[in-house]
């Protein structure tokens, strides 16, 4: 009986080995499906690695790479590296690039109402723009406007209130605007033109040389943080505020519709979430850096900080809404403008007793 038991044990071991039962799970061969890597090209309207504006698309690419675990990689090209700044819209629309980063007012010649999705003279600030876009119906209208071009717009940055700009001539009254050659895009450029100036459109990469050679007398760019990095203090003497023309400039990421639709739902969500994060991050960066940069410009570089005279601001404000209204040339444009104006009226009414009232209470001398 003893020998019979040993035989059964031996037979069982033989059968286990023969059937593979004795093989451990760790020894079993496994097959892991390779992860598909999608590569996108992103073209921008900004010089490569310009603080905030130029680094935003770089940060976006890094965030998407991390969030997707390397499944979606975006290579960023600055102005002129693949296409000129003002050709970004067409490059993404045609599929030459899958993504772009710029500002909607650059496409005013193609879509007059598009500038509203960037900045409106004497209009909404950054906080208000974000509210309108994400919770006031603005994004749906923006998507409808860009749909015929096979583009999906996404808010992807905001400068906050900008500066009025750099001038090589003093502005003491409205008459000083006559014949002034100023680089200023979008609706602000139209307003300046109506007030007597000569509005000039050019990408940021051409501003320094144009001021230096006298091709223009003045320029707006962004604010102290960016302007210091651009070296504009070396070619212009007077720095004016407030930024009436761009009180809260939304920057955009535009995505080719076919490229976006080809993504899995999780990657689509990653793109949308990453741009939303970059939208807030840029505003935070400008808020943190602008005043220190302004002090450097004034204290170390001798820049003369000036406020635009009241009569100049009054003249610009008087013509601003005429220019804005003329942008609504069709049914969709009229709906966009109506939505913007309605939201502005409502949010302004509340901000009068919240944001404005608080700032005045914090510093009574500013009232």
Is 196's pLDDT higher than 70? yes
For residue 360, CA distances in Å to 126, 127, 334, 366 come to: 19, 18, 35, 6
The percent of residues above 70 in pLDDT, for the chain, comes to 90
Both tokens assigned to 50: 């310009």
Average of pLDDT values for 52-70?
A: 97
User: According to the model, what pLDDT value does residue 49 have?
Assistant: 86
Split at pLDDT 50, 70, 90, the class of 211 is: very high
Is 363's pLDDT higher than 90? no
pLDDT by residue (tens digit) across 146-156? Answer: 999 999 999 99
**Residue of 202, 200, 187 lying closest to 246 (CA atoms):** 187
pLDDT by residue (tens digit) across 77-96? Answer: 999 999 999 999 999 999 99
User: According to the model, what pLDDT value does residue 14 have?
Assistant: 35
Average confidence score pLDDT of the chain: 91
**In the chain, what are the domains?**
38-158+248-288 (3.40.190.170)
For residue 352, CA distances in Å to 125, 126, 281, 345 come to: 13, 16, 26, 11
User: According to the model, what pLDDT value does residue 137 have?
Assistant: 98
pLDDT by residue (tens digit) across 12-33? Answer: 443 333 444 444 444 555 555 5
pLDDT by residue (tens digit) across 104-147? Answer: 999 999 999 999 999 999 999 999 999 999 999 999 999 999 99
User: According to the model, what pLDDT value does residue 6 have?
Assistant: 39
Is 311's pLDDT higher than 70? yes
User: According to the model, what pLDDT value does residue 22 have?
Assistant: 41
User: According to the model, what pLDDT value does residue 9 have?
Assistant: 37
**Residue of 215, 105, 235 lying closest to 166 (CA atoms):** 235
Split at pLDDT 50, 70, 90, the class of 10 is: very low
Residues β-bridged to residue 99:
42, 255
Cα–Cα distance measured from residue 101 to residue 254, given in angstroms and rounded to the nearest whole number: 6
Split at pLDDT 50, 70, 90, the class of 366 is: low
The percent of residues above 90 in pLDDT, for the chain, comes to 86
Residues β-bridged to residue 194:
none
């Amino acid at each position: 009986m003893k020998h019979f038991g040993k035989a059964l044990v031996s037979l069982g071991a033989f059968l286990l080995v023969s059937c593979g039962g004795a093989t451990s799970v760790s020894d079993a061969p496994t097959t892991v499906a390779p992860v598909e890597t999608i590569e996108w090209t992103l073209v921008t309207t900004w010089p490569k690695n310009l603080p905030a504006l130029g680094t935003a698309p770089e940060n976006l690419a890094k965030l998407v790479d991390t969030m997707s675990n390397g499944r979606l990689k975006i290579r960023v090209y600055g102005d002129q590296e693949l296409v000129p700044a003002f050709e970004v819209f067409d490059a993404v629309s045609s599929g030459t690039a899958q993504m772009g980063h710029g500002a909607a007012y650059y496409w005013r010649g193609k879509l007059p109402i598009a500038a509203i999705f960037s900045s409106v003279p004497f209009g909404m600030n950054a906080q208000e723009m974000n509210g309108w876009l994400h919770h006031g119906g603005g994004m749906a209208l923006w998507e409808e406007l860009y749909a015929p071009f096979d583009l999906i717009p996404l808010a992807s940055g905001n400068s906050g209130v900008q500066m009025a700009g750099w001038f090589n001539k003093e502005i003491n009254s409205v008459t000083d605007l006559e014949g002034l050659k100023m680089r200023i895009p979008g609706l602000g450029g139209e307003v300046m033109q109506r007030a007597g100036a000569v509005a000039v459109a050019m990408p940021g990469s051409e501003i320094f040389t144009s001021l230096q050679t006298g091709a223009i007398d003045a320029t707006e760019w962004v604010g102290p943080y960016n302007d210091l990095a651009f070296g504009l203090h070396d070619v212009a003497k007077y720095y004016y505020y407030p930024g009436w023309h761009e009180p809260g400039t939304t920057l955009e990421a535009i995505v080719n519709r076919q490229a976006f639709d080809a993504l899995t739902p999780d990657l689509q969500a990653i793109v949308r979430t990453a741009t939303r994060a970059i939208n807030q991050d840029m505003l935070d960066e400008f808020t943190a850096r602008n005043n220190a940069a302004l002090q450097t410009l004034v204290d170390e570089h001798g820049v003369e900080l000036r406020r635009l005279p009241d009569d100049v601001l009054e003249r610009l404000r008087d013509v601003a809404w005429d220019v804005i209204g003329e942008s609504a040339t069709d049914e969709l444009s009229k709906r966009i403008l109506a939505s913007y104006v309605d939201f502005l009226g409502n949010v302004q009414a509340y901000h009068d007793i919240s944001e404005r009232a608080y700032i005045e209470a914090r510093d009574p001398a500013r009232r």
